[in-house]
Structure 1
Amino acid sequence: MVKIGVQQPPAALKPEKEKEKAGGDGAAGTVLLPPGAEEPAPTVQGRRSSLSGVCYLTMGLLVLLLGLVFASMYVYRYFFITQLPRESVFHCGVLYEDSLYSPFKGQLELHEDVKIYIEENYEQINVPVPQFGGSDPADIIHDFQRGLTAYHDITLDKCYVIELNTTIVMPPRNLWELLVNVKKGTYLPQTYIIQEEMIATEHVSDMEQLGSFIYRLCSGKETYRLKRRSARRRISRREAGNCHHIRHFENTFVVETVICKKS
């Protein structure tokens, strides 16, 4: 009788075949690091994460701040400014004292029409023929954008241009608020007069440099520049030379602009 036997594989080869079989079936193997390699320190990664968090937080706060600024500008632009009219027209009547023209009556009345253009930042005043003598009718423009004032003396049909006096003339929005309060009766203007004296100097040939508002007023008219003498409380008698007087209301008091020829 013949015996048939199967030779068992060596013990050293069996683990290697099992490892290959396990690898072929998709089981995860163990990765061994080389002897000199070390794992990264966890503290370095923590510091980097903290710095990244601070950067993201700073950028977020910056974006939030910019958003608040733009939101405030939007609210101011479209909810506050739009409540103010682009153009306001007022018919003003102001009582004031003048001992020179009215020593017994005590008070005179000044009438004028005021147009205020808030967005364009200028004012236009029309002074009709007064009920008393000594003052000329006039059209006046205060251009706050260019810092100029123009007087059109209707009696002489001449224009006079000077730098805007911001100590006397109210800005458009302030004047608008003042006239609204006067109209409501919550504020009464002062009754005294401020007098400003001016001298006509050189002739203006280039009208376009004065801006579009003054150009429309003075185009085709003789136009001269003015030099201011002074602005003071009117307490003395008026000068009796070749001067013309324009009384107008552009603040809490009446202003008398005296324009004299250069001697």
Structure 2
Amino acid sequence: MQTRRSSLSGVCYLTMGLIVLLLGLVFASMYVYRYFFITQFPQLPRESVFHCGVLYEDSLYSPFKGQLELHEDVKIYIEENYEQINVPVPQFGGSDPADIIHDFQRGLTAYHDIALDKCYVIELNTTIVMPPRNLWELLVNVKKGTYLPQTYIIQEEMIVTEHVSDMEQLGSFIYRLCSGKETYRLKRRTARRRINRREAGNCNHIRHFENTFVVETVICKKL
């Protein structure tokens, strides 16, 4: 009888020791994760808001004024995988205020030209537009002063093709932006020289910052 009790006591002590050991491992793992992994690899926020001011040069539109400045507000949604850019009324002429959405899940970009109150939709150009995580990291570095954006400007030219009647096919993000507005699809023109002033009468310009350089999106009516 005494031997049996001793055996039961031994089993109890062994079980308690294993429980204490497992709890110790759990707390140690939590400590390592909290103070090493989170510190070394900080989690990206679900949403980040940046106010950007970028200096750039444009000899075509401002040959004697030196550098121009572009301001915009950028909202980056990491989990939803999309970006929203608001470009206010610029201090210089030749560019329209706009709201822009880059939806990486659907592979679409939407431009809401605020001056015209019209929306334009086109396939997302991933060679120009940075994905949310990369753009977040870029803007964080710009804000810290560890990186300065490039001062040049590139131009992408697009042609209006057709009216969009089924807005729901564009996804919820673009639907919220363009609902109730005239919405058209766009097609990119083949590579060519920058459009000049004489050709610009039938086009609208939207300048924005979504990479290491300024982009001028030129939206032209179909001739």
Q: Scaled by the length of structure 1, what TM-score is found?
A: 0.68
Q: So what's the TM-score if we normalise by structure 2?
A: 0.80
Number of residue pairs matched by the alignment:
220
SS of equivalent to 1:241: helix
The alpha-carbon deviation at position 100 of structure 1 amounts to 2.4
Displacement of 1:177 in angstroms is 0.1
In our comparison, the structure showing a higher alpha carbon Rg is 1
1:182 counterpart SS class: helix
Which ranges of structure 1 fall in alignment gaps of 5 or more residues?
A: 1-43
Q: How does 1:100-249 map to 2 (within 5 A)?
A: 100-230=60-190, 234=194, 239-249=199-209
State the distance in 1 between where 2:220 and 2:214 align.
Answer: 19
Cα distance in 2 for residues equivalent to 1:250 and 1:134: 19
Cα 1:203/1:188, change in 2 over 3 Å = same
Distance change in 2, residues 1:86/1:228 (3 Å): same
- Distance apart, 1:113 and its partner CA: 0.2
Q: 4+ residue stretches of structure 1 with deviation over 4 A?
A: 44-82, 231-238
Structure 2 match to 1:85: 45
CA distance 1:72–1:165, shift in 2 (3 Å): farther
CA distance in 2, matches of 1:231, 1:46: 91
Distance change >3 Å, CA 224–CA 59, structure 1 → 2: farther
For residue 99 of structure 1, report the CA deviation from its aligned partner.
1.1
Structure with the bigger RCO (C-alpha within 8 Å, sep 6+) is 2
Measure the CA separation in 2 of the matches of 1:62 and 1:163.
Answer: 57
Question: CA 1:73/1:45 → structure 2, altered by over 3 Å: closer, same or farther?
Answer: same
- Cα 1:237–1:146 change in 2 (3 A) is same
Alpha-carbon RMSD? 6.4
Instruction: Provide, for residues 191-239 of structure 1, a one-character-per-residue CA deviation record: whole Å limited to 9, x for no partner.
Output: 1111000000110000000000000000000000000014578596673
Deviation at 1:176, TM superposition (A): 0.2
Q: Which ranges of structure 2 fall in alignment gaps of 5 or more residues? A: none
Structure 2: how far apart are the matches of 1:207 and 1:161? 10
